[in-house]
Amino acid sequence: RVNFSDMLLEQQDIDPVISSSAGDFIFPVVHLGFWLYKADRFYGVSMRQLNKQTVQGIDKGELINHWTFAYGKSIKVSDDFFFKPAFKMNYVARSKPSLEGQAILSYKETIAFGLGARSGMGVSGLLKVGVGRFLTFAYAYDLTLNKMRYDGGATHELVLGINACGGSEGSYQHCAAYD
């Protein structure tokens, strides 16, 4: 293992082994966020890299703040269907903000299908299925549309959600373990 922090390199990108070890740093980072939940909507603000750590051995190796602002709403379409739009803005200093949006159509809070988009970067689709009172399975497919698609392409994501409080069939229940 290469101790990258003890090296002084004139050109930091000459050897892929050395430059890839830059991701091996372990040091404390502090994140802070506040979320407000109401019966039919949520608001959120969070900041990552609150303590702005510096990375020794890398020019301008300071971790900068990442701000996130989020809003979502649940709109009852009928007794069985809910429409759930959500929006998020991410901001990192010295870069333009990125916007994200998604729209989910939920049937009895048990099955949901959704579409999402990231400002000029990609689109996604998701499917969520609730199984019993305690489990949720979800699948998401993300298609990258910008130049990063040449190196990374699309991604698949599988999620297993566990609700410690269970709740009643087909409806959400607040859970003291998470509230």
pLDDT value for 1 = 57
With beta carbons less than 8 A apart as the criterion, state whether 49 and 63 touch.
yes
Instruction: From residue 154, give the alpha-carbon distance in Å to each of 114, 126, 147.
Output: 17, 13, 12
pLDDT value for 177 = 46
CA neighbours closer than 13 Å in the CB half-sphere of residue 36: 4
How many Å apart are CA 90 and CA 62, to the nearest integer?
19
Higher pLDDT, 169 or 131: 131
With beta carbons less than 8 A apart as the criterion, state whether 49 and 32 touch.
no
Could you tell me which residues are beta bridge partners of residue 127?
Answer: 113, 139
83-87, 105-109, 159-163: which has the highest mean pLDDT?
A: 83-87
- The predicted-structure confidence for 26-81, as pLDDT tens digits, reads as follows 567 788 999 888 888 999 999 988 777 776 666 666 778 889 999 999 999 999 99
Q: What percent of the chain has pLDDT over 70?
A: 72
pLDDT value for 179 = 44
pLDDT value for 84 = 94
- Residue 130, burial from CB neighbour count under 10 angstroms (0-12, 13-18, 19+): buried
With beta carbons less than 8 A apart as the criterion, state whether 85 and 72 touch.
yes
pLDDT value for 134 = 82
